[in-house]
């Protein structure tokens, strides 16, 4: 009798274990210039697969609309018409640009989607990296100003006031794509999933009933190590750091998140992680908070309902919003 009980318990555990592993499905694709991983739980293989394919397809479609690297994309057409005329664009582009303008305004211009001329000048995409001459930084900087971009949601038009201006959505488009992919998954019957477009992550529901998704925050100076981790359900988290794309010259680290006020890589932080209700918001705010640094960055995120942050400052000290105090697991105090 007792023996049978033990056997039963073991079989039950095995079954539970099998079910856990067989209904968690994960796939990775290279999209938007980065690694996109989608995890779906609680569905049979075939249904999960169909949902993931549709979500990847949605990200691929958005990439075509929002990419900086094509003349035919909405963004390519907006940039080509700078200083000349307004351009008719898709509803998605209007949505992203309107949110970009809102965050530019709220962050006092620390986030600025018209950062394009500076991004091109610093050229973090090319192999031969060098620090641009001061005059060129100054010239590019005068073209960067979100106030010179007009977005008309009714007419669905966008206009850049000055010739040479360029919109770059590197600080917000991946987050938007994660939101849309999550929406696509839900439409396909998924209620438990995680979408990670590089460091822009959206959790759909919980991993399992009563079990939140577990997300690690990359340590900004120890590759492969985590600074701490967070539990999230139906929420987004984004990290902006100076360790992803950078070069070091004469002992100075030059990275891809630029301070529009100086035209140079922002120097106040090593990384900024933001939790928010949507990924478009966590993405844009992580870039803004990174540029602003711990004091102003924490102040900014606290002015948004339901938004929290973990900022590692230039000396490696960790700052968290009061709402997250004690909630970042494994964080050395």
Residues of this chain that bind ligand ADP (CB under 6 A):
111-113, 115, 119, 168, 170-171, 174, 198-199, 240, 244, 256-258, 260, 283, 286-287, 291
Residue 171 interacts with Mg ion (CB under 5 A): yes or no: yes
- Separation CA 208–CA 193 (nearest Å): 10
| Nearer Cβ to ligand ADP (74/283) | 283
DSSP 3-state assignment of 157?
strand
Give 211's DSSP letter.
B
CA distances to 5, 8, 11, 15, 38 from 1, rounded to whole Å, are 6, 11, 15, 21, 45
CA dist 95 → 89, 113, 172, 181 (Å)? 10, 13, 11, 15
Q: Which is nearer to Mg ion, 169 or 185 (CB)?
A: 169
Among 239, 259, 273, 286, interactor with Mg ion by CB under 5 A: 286
Task: Give 286's strand partners.
Answer: none
The count of chain residues that interact with Mg ion, using the rule CB under 5 A, is: 5
320 binds, among Mg ion, ligand ADP, none (CB under 5 to 8 A by kind): none
Residue 265 contact partner, candidates ligand ADP, Mg ion, none, CB within 5 to 8 A by sort of partner: none
Are the beta carbons of 279 and 296 closer than 8 angstroms?
no
Beta-bridge mates of residue 195 = 38, 202
Contacts of residue 267, defined as CB under 8 A and 6 or more positions apart, other chains included, come to: 259, 314
- Closest CB to ligand ADP among residues 58, 112: 112
Q: Shortest distance, CB of residue 78 to ligand ADP, whole angstroms?
A: 15
- Contact between 331 and 316 (Cβ < 8 Å): no
Q: At closest approach, how far in Å is the CB of 285 from ligand ADP?
A: 10
Told to check if 287 binds Mg ion by CB under 5 A, we report yes
Closest approach of ligand ADP to the CB of residue 213, in Å? 19
Asked if 104 interacts with Mg ion (CB under 5 A), we say no
Give yes or no for residue 179 binding Mg ion (CB under 5 A): no
Closer to ligand ADP by CB, 43 or 312: give it. 312
Strand, helix or coil for residue 138: helix
* CA angle (131, 312, 327) in 5-degree steps: 155
Q: Which is nearer to ligand ADP, 41 or 276 (CB)?
A: 276
Nearest distance, CB of residue 240 and Mg ion, angstroms: 5
Positions that interact with Mg ion (CB under 5 A): 171, 240, 283, 286-287
């Amino acid at each position: 009798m007792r023996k049978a009980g033990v056997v039963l318990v073991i079989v039950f555990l095995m079954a539970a274990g099998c079910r856990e592993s067989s209904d968690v499905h994960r796939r990775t694709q290279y999209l938007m210039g980065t690694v996109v991983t989608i995890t779906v739980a609680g569905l049979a293989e075939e249904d999960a697969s169909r949902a993931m394919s549709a979500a990847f397809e949605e990200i691929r479609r958005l990439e075509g609309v929002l990419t900086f690297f094509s003349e035919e994309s909405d963004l390519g057409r907006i940039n080509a018409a700078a200083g000349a005329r307004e351009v008719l664009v898709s509803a998605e582009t209007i949505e992203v640009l309107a949110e970009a303008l809102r965050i530019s305004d709220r962050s006092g211009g620390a986030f600025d989607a018209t950062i394009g001329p500076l991004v091109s000048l610093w050229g973090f995409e090319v192999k031969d990296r060098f620090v641009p001459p001061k005059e060129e930084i100054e010239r590019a900087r005068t073209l960067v100003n979100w106030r010179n971009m007009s977005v008309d949601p009714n007419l669905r038009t966008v206009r850049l006031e000055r010739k040479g201006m360029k919109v770059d959505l590197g600080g917000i488009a991946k987050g938007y794509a994660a939101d849309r992919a999550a929406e696509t998954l839900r439409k396909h019957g998924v209620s438990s999933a995680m979408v990670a477009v590089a460091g822009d992550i959206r959790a759909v529901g919980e991993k399992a009933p009563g079990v939140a998704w577990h997300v690690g925050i990359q340590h900004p100076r120890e590759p492969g190590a985590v600074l701490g981790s967070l539990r999230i359900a139906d929420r987004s988290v984004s990290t902006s750091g100076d360790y992803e794309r950078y070069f070091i010259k004469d002992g100075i680290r030059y990275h891809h998140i630029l301070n529009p006020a100086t035209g140079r890589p922002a120097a106040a932080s090593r990384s900024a992680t933001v939790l928010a209700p949507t990924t478009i918001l966590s993405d844009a705010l992580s870039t803004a908070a990174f540029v602003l640094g711990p004091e102003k960055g924490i102040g900014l995120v606290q002015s948004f309902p339901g938004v929290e942050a973990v900022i590692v400052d230039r000396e490696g000290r960790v700052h968290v919003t009061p709402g997250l105090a004690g909630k970042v697991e494994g964080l050395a105090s």
